[in-house]
Structure 1
Amino acid sequence: MKKKQVAKIVGIIVIVGCVAGTTAFAGTSKMKVAVAAVGQGDVVRTIAVEGHIETEEEKAYYAKVTAPVSTFDLKAGDVVQKGDTLVTYDTQEYDRSLEQAQLQAKAAKAGYAGSAAQSKEMTQAYEEAQAQESMYQQAYEAALANVNDLQYNIETVADAVDDKRDKINRDIAQVEIEIAQKNAQAADYDDEDRLDYLEEAAQLQVKLASLKKKLLELPDSGAKPIEDRYFSEAQYYLNELATQRAQLQQEMQTTKHAAMNGSQLAQLAANAELANTAVTWNEEDAEKAAEGVTADVTGVVSEINVEEGAYVAEGTRLFTIKDMEHVMAVVEVTSYEMGQVEVGQKASIEAAGNTYDGTVSRIRKETVLDSQNKAKLQVEIHIENPDDKIYLGTDVDAAIETGESDSAIVIPNDALYTDDEGDYCYLLSNDVIEKRYLTCGIASADTTEVLEGLSQGEWVITDAMTDANVGKGAQAK
């Protein structure tokens, strides 16, 4: 049986009606056959497939802000250019929010600066008062020691005077007793002895007078006026220091409470920073609202979910743009053909009478059912040079180049047969028909590569032959 292939033809086959240089056969007993010389050529195997045009990149556009839509006048199927503004928003609300955020940030910054300055002033005042309080404490302790010393000295002097007075009084009493004894003794004796006692009594009287004089000369046991003044002044100074120190301590407490601690200042700083962040957020939102929605690609609008005047929330899906600068042909191949298809193979695509170059970019891993419920695999062919004549969804015919052999030994497909044992051909060898089995490679629509079994320059018969003709004489037509 004849072997058929569907493919692209690149090759050179010489079909001749007669063998060059041969002489005409004598007689009419030999049949005449059409032959072709076995030669070299390039063979490109292709698979013819059908499909349709799809975009390679499809982008959904979402609302980046929550705002009323000011303008939108597109319909599904409209073509937009990259950079076109497709949606504009009413930005009044964002402008007001931004202004309010800026005022709040300004107030927070001023509040933090004022509080920080006041806190610094109060802290400095507290530290100064604390230093003064230390000085007051030292002065108070010194004044208190002075008062205590004065009081001790006064008490010590008073105790010494009292001790002397007591001793003199005891001495006076003793002398008076002794005088009385002498006078009594003088009364008991005669004149000579009496005079001795009286003389002793007189001496005791002198001693008594001396003691009484000393008693009179003793100072008062209380403090002297000068000592009282010193003590009073020291006591007054001590009281003044105590009063001033108490006032200073009260001032320290006041300034300490008025001054903010690190955590409080950090909180105010954080509030100011948060207000600045709110300004940044509002600026970004206002900028997004002012920008609207711009097309990132040139393509076709589809799946529209928005209209002019609508109030959209951030994240709302608005529409989709199918990129027209990056398109592909999606074709279907049988499971038998699938074994020959690989990513990176070249292809040609015909769409609406125009031809485009392409490359197999992806093989989908899930089958689909064709119109006859047969499973087929889908192959994506990237179109290298799309133009404005391409329309999404249109039908295409494509040819995928699945193999190529350069400078191969080739024969016409008309000369090739196949049976259970393999591929074979009929040759005209020395004017006799011969059958020969071959090992074949890839095949195009017109030629097949022969890997083993033929040599360049041999002649294969292209007319229909059967094994019944083998061994018969023949000549080229």
Structure 2
Amino acid sequence: MKKVILGALCLICTSTLLISCNNNSDIANVTITKVKMSNSISDNTYTANVESGDKISIIPSAAGKIQTINVDVGQSVKKGDTLFTIDNTELTYKVNQAQANYDAANIAYDKTAGGSAKQAQNDAATALEKAKNELKDAQNQYQNNTAIASAQTAYNDAKANYDRTNTLYQAAAATKVDLDTAKSKLDTASAALDIAKATAETRLNNAKTSFAAASQNASITSSVLNPDNIAAAKAQVDSAKAALDIANHQLENATVTAPIDGKISAKNISVGELAPTQTPSLVLENEAALNVLIKVTETNINSIAVGMAAKISVPSTGISYDGAITTISPSADQKTGMFDVKINITNPDDKIKIGMVTNISLVDSKSDNSLLVPNESVINEDGSSYIYVINGDKLTKRAVTLGQAKNQYIEVKDGVSADDQVVVEGSSNMKDNGKFNIVKSN
């Protein structure tokens, strides 16, 4: 009897164990996540510094010494404000000379066109003689120029002092500071000598120009009065007028003004220095037009377009701004493989500054908070797409209509709602209306 009871108990336990095992095999272990709502075109957040959308390097077209500087770094200016001036002594002289040449050309034209050729010849001869004497005086002054002589003497003294100091330095009888001081004085004397020579040469060249103009005028007035001569005299007036316009323009350029409203971000000049003609004297940046430049991978570049909206946040201030894509580079950088995308900040205020660090997310303004699910949650069967959704204590297999892929996510146009929880990863025994066990929730 005991053996019969024991056998029956063993049979019951075995059956229970088999039933339990069969029940467990029907339960799918799953990882789930909630449907995501977003109108961002990607999950990427870009980091970039604020830049000026209008950055201008100020390089003067007039040559000469800096006479005055009216601005400093960080100062705001208005369009037309004077930034700095260049010594215009020589430029003023050139304007006066060009004006004299223009007046002379007009006189010559009037005499030629009026028929008083003889008087014009006499006047031209007088002017030529005067120009000849002025040229001779200029040549004599150039040969006996006291400014050059003084500058040459100063240079010779500085050169001798430098050579002497260098010899002492080589013999350890002078310090490096002594040598550098001597070299600085030599450089200053050399620059002063160059300027003195240039000034004298300019005056001599102007006298030569005046003499050449007077010679040409005399040649014209001595010829027979005819329409061709009148036309030639008119051409001389036009040429002199053009030269006068150029001289006036150069004089105007000695006063450097701001081309736009903005703020000075760099200053590379000092009073008394020669104005650089190759590098910027100042850098002016427009604070009203601000940009950020982001680097976009080839994976994402085709998901964006000019005009697309962006959100720009400044961590240091906690303020966010609107933006819009203005340009997209047509080719990737050869070194990084990234595409440059420029975004204009459309509503800047006085709290956002050039150089600030920002975080940028791109927004698809054409879509209203799309429903997104991870790519791994989509099951493709027989040309259709399905997603397993948590429905109470069961799994529901739903057919879905997919939209645009967005990095690790894909848009679902139909088949799920914003409150749904979907299976991202599950065991092979998942089935419609099947049981499940959540092993992880993202």
Quickly name the TM-score band, shorter chain normalised: 0.5 to 0.7
Aligned residue number for residue 242 of structure 2: 277
Asked if 1:366 is matched to 2:328, the reply is no
Structure 1 contact 349–355 (Cα < 8 Å) conserved: yes
Map 1:30-69; keep pairs closer than 5 Å: 44-46=40-42, 47-69=44-66
Structure 2 contact 109–237 (Cα < 8 Å) conserved: yes
Question: Distance between the aligned counterparts of 2:225 and 2:341, measured in 1?
Answer: 72
**What secondary structure, in the 3-state scheme, does the structure 2 residue paired with 1:392 have?**
coil
Map 1:42-441; keep pairs closer than 5 Å: 44-46=40-42, 47-72=44-69, 74=71, 79-117=76-114, 119=116, 260-289=225-254, 291-302=255-266, 304-312=267-275, 317-351=280-314, 352=316, 353-364=318-329, 365-367=331-333, 375-402=337-364, 404-406=366-368, 410=371, 413=373, 417-418=377-378, 424-427=386-389, 432-441=394-403
User: Residue deviations 1:229-250, cap 9 Å, x none?
Assistant: xxxxxxxxxxxxxxxxxxxxxx
Structure 1 contact 300–322 (Cα < 8 Å) conserved: yes
Superposition deviation, residue 344 in structure 1: 1.6
CA gap of 1:430–1:314, structure 2 versus 1, over 3 A, is: closer
Superposition deviation, residue 399 in structure 1: 0.7
Superposition deviation, residue 400 in structure 1: 0.4
Structure 2 contact 70–82 (Cα < 8 Å) conserved: no
Question: Distance between the aligned counterparts of 2:435 and 2:290, measured in 1?
Answer: 60
State the superposition RMSD in angstroms: 4.7
Structure 2 contact 296–339 (Cα < 8 Å) conserved: yes
Superposition deviation, residue 347 in structure 1: 0.5
CA gap of 1:446–1:288, structure 2 versus 1, over 3 A, is: closer
Higher Rg of the two aligned structures: 1
Structure 1 contact 361–380 (Cα < 8 Å) conserved: yes
Question: Distance between the aligned counterparts of 1:121 and 1:93, measured in 2?
Answer: 36
Question: Distance between the aligned counterparts of 2:305 and 2:76, measured in 1?
Answer: 33
User: Residue deviations 1:402-437, cap 9 Å, x none?
Assistant: 4754497x58x5998246769643346797533345
| Consecutive unaligned residues in structure 2, runs of 5 or more | 1-26, 120-221, 437-442
Percent of counterpart pairs with the same letter? 22
What is the TM-score normalised by the length of structure 2? 0.53
Structure 1 contact 43–405 (Cα < 8 Å) conserved: yes
What is the TM-score normalised by the length of structure 1? 0.50
Letter in 2 for 1:105: Y
349-358 or 458-467, larger mean C-alpha shift: 458-467
Question: Distance between the aligned counterparts of 2:228 and 2:259, measured in 1?
Answer: 49
**What secondary structure, in the 3-state scheme, does the structure 1 residue paired with 2:269 have?**
coil
Superposition deviation, residue 355 in structure 1: 0.9
Letter in 2 for 1:324: E
CA gap of 1:105–1:457, structure 2 versus 1, over 3 A, is: closer
Structure 2 contact 402–413 (Cα < 8 Å) conserved: yes
CA gap of 1:400–1:62, structure 2 versus 1, over 3 A, is: same
Letter in 1 for 2:257: V
Superposition deviation, residue 87 in structure 1: 1.2
Superposition deviation, residue 387 in structure 1: 2.6
Structure 1 contact 63–316 (Cα < 8 Å) conserved: no
